[in-house]
Amino acid sequence: MITGLKATSYEEKLKELGITTLEERRKYLDMLQTYKVMTGKDNVDRATWFDMASSGQRATRQAADPLNIRPKASRLEVRRQFFSQRVVEDWNGVPEQVKSAVTVIGFKAGLKKHLQGMMGPVQ
């Protein structure tokens, strides 16, 4: 048990302990899971979860990267919080050379570098 943090704010506690926010950790792990699904390392058919941007009717800038995905149509706000919907924008923002990493370890290293540039150190 860690003592002496009772009177400090959430941000100060995180800084003192050297960890990131829950939001940042969720984003990191979502990207890791998306990589595993997209590369087949999870033995899950990616068509079950994602629509590829390159399979659309129109050629757009989003379809320039063959690993980009596009959101599925949704009417309800609750659907937008599903895994397959919430990761689309973040995944498409990851550089192509990171997404095309051969190993999970290589992807993690590239993703950490990418996220550090966006929001500071990632644990």
Q: What is the pLDDT of residues 27-57, one digit of tens each?
A: 999 999 999 999 988 888 888 888 888 766 5
The number of angstroms, rounded, from the C-alpha of 15 to the middle of its chain's C-alpha atoms is 23
Per-residue pLDDT of the chain (123 residues; tens, 9 = 90+): 677 778 888 888 888 888 888 999 999 999 999 999 999 888 888 888 888 887 665 555 555 778 888 888 777 888 788 888 999 999 999 999 999 999 999 999 999 999 887 665 555
Q: Which of 35, 61, 60, 64 is nearest to 50 (CA)?
A: 35
| The residue type at 93 | G
Q: Which two tokens stand for residue 120?
A: 């500071």
Q: Taking the model in full, what pTM does it have?
A: 0.78
Residue 94 carries which DSSP code? S
**Per-residue model confidence (pLDDT) at position 27:** 93
